[in-house]
Structure 1
Amino acid sequence: MPMAAQDIVRLIQEGIPGARVEIEDLAGDGDHYAATVVAAAFAGKSKVQQHQMVYNALGGRMGGVLHALKLTTMAPKP
């Protein structure tokens, strides 16, 4: 069963408080998404660390309920 975009947004925002999240359903099938996540918590972290934070917020759903997620992550610009 596909994962709803609003559930992805909710999980990321719960796991990374203050994060701004934009989701795009790439294939219209609820299985292939692109997410842009902007969070102050990403400041000073590498892209790998930022992506790990998002995956941790998703609680192990990647590769299961959530098939594919293209991530763009960044700290807010000052």
Structure 2
Amino acid sequence: MISLEQVETMIKSQLPDAQVKVQDLTGGGDHLEAIVISSEFEGKTRVKQHQMVYGALQEAMASEAIHALALKTYTPASWEQASQTV
């Protein structure tokens, strides 16, 4: 099983400026949700942003240490805007 901290570290290894919040959705440790905020997402489509995160987690997902990942990605500006609407 992979820890939430390991997932966060893996994402930050590819996106060093990222703010990352990882949650276990089921208690089993293999169905996760990650919120990733990074300036490296600027000018990239949502699909490309997700591909960047999946690239960081490729090994864990291939080994099925992570079975499912709900992913939300934001630029700092879009995160600020999303936070104001809550």
When the two structures are superposed, what TM-score results if normalisation uses the length of structure 2? Answer: 0.83
Q: Which runs of 4+ in 1 moved over 3 A?
A: none
Give me the CA root mean square deviation. 1.3
Which residue of structure 1 lines up, in the alignment, with residue 18 of structure 2? 19
Which residue of structure 2 lines up, in the alignment, with residue 58 of structure 1? 57
Q: Which has the larger radius of gyration?
A: 2
Moved more, 53-62 or 32-41: 53-62
Deviation at 1:3, TM superposition (A): 1.3
Which residue of structure 2 lines up, in the alignment, with residue 9 of structure 1? 8
Whichever structure has more helix as a proportion of its residues is 2
When the two structures are superposed, what TM-score results if normalisation uses the length of structure 1? Answer: 0.91
Aligned residues: 77
Code of the residue aligned with 1:59 in structure 2: it is Q
Gap regions ≥5 residues in structure 2: 81-86
Which residue of structure 2 lines up, in the alignment, with residue 68 of structure 1? 68
The DSSP-based 3-state class of the residue aligned with 2:2 is coil
Deviations along 1:13-71, whole A, 9 cap, x unmatched?
01111000001110011011100000000001001000000011113322521111100
